[in-house]
Amino acid sequence: MVYVGDLWVVRYFLTHIKVIRHMSDQQLCIMMVHAHPDDECLSTGGTLARYSAEGIRTVLITATGGEEGEIVVPEMDTPENHARLSEIRDVELAQAVEALGVSVHERFGYRDSGMDGTDANNHPDSFHMANKDEATKRLVALIRHYRPQILVSYDERGGYGHPDHIACHQITVAAFDDAGDAERYPDAGAPWTPQKLYYTAFPRTAVYKAWTIMRERGMPTPLDDPEFDVSRFTVDDERVTTVVPIHGYLPQKRAAIDAHVTQIRKDSPFLSMPEDVADDLFGIEHFIRVGSRVAVPATNGQPEDDLFAGLR
């Protein structure tokens, strides 16, 4: 004989088995929101390559065309190329995306806002001037479509203060909450709640160590400039919560960086660093976990080594 209480228990477990099965069937997905072509590979290229190789869906959002970027190759630094720089950088970006194995690439199509305080900030098509509510809605729609468990963008400083990086930070933080709220942007698709939010990070000690070793070997580094402010581009080590080993994916990351011909010099630290130093010091990408809706596994005081920790 089956009692009412027993039926309730059966229904409870059947319901939760369906939920668990749905979660396990849902493909793991990570979405990264970057500002310009080349940003995707400098701080997250190895992570994109690693997770793509693991069969995880990697979705890259590029907010602007990078029209205000410099052209570091002298023979290419012409007025004609500056006039069509967005087109040139789009080709470079496509090559980088292919090198990293990115599953899906989406472009927002805003104009590069330029560095803080420049005239480009006021261009009506710039990301800096864009309606942030509308930009958030666009991101929410993509989140609801691709259903990522992980969102990644920049910290509140935008990494180093660039208006487009700050705008990416703002809309990503907003979308982390809004995407799962049925009352927010009801015409942007069925609600989907991302589980974890991360910022990219360059920890000060690791960066300074890499540049110091390079300088000792007679190689150019930003430290050669006495006015260079290391703290502007780095974060306190204590803020870093997560380290993703990418040793096996450095070739893909280098290839992606090398694709951005107009923006990254061949003698830049990212491309000129000897392999032994790069593997030791650049074989890890760093992140700051700022939001999690799942329990994060204990790590005995060590940083977690997987953005999907608690979700696999």
Structural tokens at position 76: 């290419």
Domains and CATH numbers, the chain: 29-292 (3.40.50.10320)
Closest CA to 175 of 207, 209, 144, 130: 144
pLDDT, one tens digit for every residue, the chain (312 residues): 333 444 444 443 443 444 344 444 579 999 999 999 999 999 999 999 999 999 999 999 999 999 999 999 999 999 999 999 999 999 999 999 999 999 999 999 999 999 999 999 999 999 999 999 999 999 999 999 999 999 999 999 998 899 999 999 999 999 999 999 999 999 999 999 999 999 999 999 988 888 888 888 887 788 888 888 888 889 999 999 999 999 999 999 999 999 999 999 888 777 877 777 777 777 999 999 999 999 988 888 889 999 999 998
Does residue 277 contact residue 215 with C-beta atoms inside 8 Å?
no
Give the helix ranges, DSSP H, for 162-249: 163-178, 204-216, 230-233
Kindly report the pTM of this predicted structure.
0.89
State the burial class of residue 185 (Cβ atoms within 10 Å of its Cβ: 0-12, 13-18, 19+). Answer: buried
CA–CA distance, 213 with 163 (Å, rounded to integer): 32
Structural tokens at position 7: 């039926």
CA–CA distance, 247 with 306 (Å, rounded to integer): 14
Does residue 248 contact residue 218 with C-beta atoms inside 8 Å?
no
Does residue 57 contact residue 26 with C-beta atoms inside 8 Å?
no
